[in-house]
Structures are given as C-alpha cells and as structure tokens.
C-alpha cells in the first residue's frame, strides 16, 4: 500500500506492508534509489505494519518493486499501475 503526503514541491511517499508478510527483511527498490536494496529497508511501525518513506519530485513517475529475503522480488498490488515488470508510482 502507498501513503502519500504532498509537500511544497515534493511528494512524500510511504511504502507500507503488513508485518511478517513476507517473512524477514524487505526493502523497497526502484529508479528513485538506483535499485539499491540497502537504501530503503522497511522498518516496523507501532500499528504492526512495516514502512519506508521516500521524498520524490511532484508530477513524476517511478518504477519500483519490493525485495525480500531469499532474493524474492514482488510488486505492490496497490500501485498506481504496473508495466509488466515493475510497479509504477505517480506523484
């Protein structure tokens, strides 16, 4: 799931996954972090979800996926769109 907050010239996007789904560490990777799994690991939140937040330019589009333990890549079913390979996010 994606949570969004509009700032002056930027958009703050929070990537949200349920706790333990999938099991183990998960990172969000995309063109906004050069597909670097160490850049945005999801961290636990008090409500039982895991999140990572990025700030992006407004009115832009980005490709992303999640990377879990065991080299398990998966998409966000709640993304704005999908391009066949990746989830897509529009700010």
The domains found in the chain, sorted by start residue, are: 2-79 (2.60.40.10)
Element housing 91 (H / E): none
pTM for this structure?
A: 0.93
Pairing of strands 72-74, 10-18: unpaired
41 - beta bridge partners? 27
pLDDT tens per residue across all 91 residues of the chain = 999 999 999 999 999 999 888 999 999 999 999 999 999 999 999 999 999 999 999 999 999 999 999 999 999 999 999 998 999 999 9
Identify whether the C-beta of residue 23 lies closer than 8 Å to the C-beta of residue 66: no
Identify whether the C-beta of residue 3 lies closer than 8 Å to the C-beta of residue 43: no
**Beta-strand (E) ranges in 1-91?**
2-6, 10-18, 26-30, 43-44, 49-57, 61-68, 72-74, 81-82, 87-90
């Amino acid at each position: 799931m994606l949570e969004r907050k509009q700032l002056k010239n930027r958009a703050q996007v929070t990537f949200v996954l349920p706790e333990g789904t999938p099991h183990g560490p998960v990172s969000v990777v995309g063109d906004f972090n050069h597909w670097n799994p160490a850049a945005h690991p999801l961290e636990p939140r008090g409500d039982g979800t895991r999140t990572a937040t990025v700030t992006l330019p407004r009115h832009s589009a980005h490709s992303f996926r999640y990377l879990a333990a065991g080299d398990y890549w998966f998409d966000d079913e709640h993304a704005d769109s999908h391009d066949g390979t990746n989830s897509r996010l529009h700010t």
